[in-house]
Amino acid sequence: MDFTIDQGSSIYRRRKRDRVGDMAKQYIEKGLLVPDHVITRLMMSELENRRSEPWLLDGFPRTLVQAEALDKICELDLVITLNIPFETLKDRLSRRWIHPHSGRVYNLDFNPPHVHGIDDITGEPLVQQEDDKPEAVAARLRQYKDVAKPVIELYKSRGVLHQFSGTETNKIWPYVYTLFSNKITPIQSKEAY
């Protein structure tokens, strides 16, 4: 009996998460930022399912509303922010193309397809999503800067924020890796035991 209830509630949570995911997808396809209430519901549902596991978030929380929701379920150990010039971000994101069926991502600067506009594996056409087009990227970056500033200040005041600046991943990453290595205990795989 308990198994049936757990299984049913698990299916219900998965369906609810799928509906919220579909809502988020509609915003993304239009090149818009996903509203707080949608992304927060999606993230909280996912994190609730991972309470006993360590995790790393990328791009969440972005707003104070999201940060407050996250505060209700956990206390963050470490927050990083990358200070990258606006033009660098805009150029990088605007040069991103994807293979829609697999989700493979290409970047024309540092991970180009072997044949321009064609997926390396299937030979099918690549597409540029609406939110990766230069105008949409510029609008998203401006909006992000406005809403993220209070979140950055919040985590700075708590003493968990670490900031890194630069334009090249290979120059920033060693500093981020060193921080992670010093702050987070490595996770041993079960096979190591």
The answer on 84 and 60 residing in a single domain is no
CA atoms lying within 13 Å on the CB side of residue 119: 16
The answer on 109 and 54 residing in a single domain is no
Query: What is the mean pLDDT of the segment spanning 79-103?
Result: 90
Tell me, yes or no, whether 191 lies in a domain: no
The model's pLDDT over 136-152, given as tens digits with 9 standing for 90+, comes to 888 888 888 888 999 99
Question: CA dihedral defined by 134, 136, 140, 141, rounded to 10 degrees?
Answer: 10
pLDDT for 191: 55
Query: What is the mean pLDDT of the segment spanning 95-118?
Result: 93
The answer on 104 and 71 residing in a single domain is no
Angstrom distance (rounded) from CA 27 to CA 74: 27
The answer on 125 and 47 residing in a single domain is no
Domain that holds residue 43: 1-75
Number of structural domains found in the chain: 2
Q: State the CATH number of the domain containing residue 87.
A: 3.40.50.300
Angstrom distance (rounded) from CA 68 to CA 54: 20
The model's pLDDT over 56-72, given as tens digits with 9 standing for 90+, comes to 888 899 899 999 999 99
**Last residue in a domain, options 75, 102, 137:** 75
80 beta partners: 162
CB within 8 A of 113, min separation 6: which ones?
97, 106, 119, 120, 126
Tell me, yes or no, whether 190 lies in a domain: no
Q: Is the pLDDT of residue 24 over 50?
A: yes
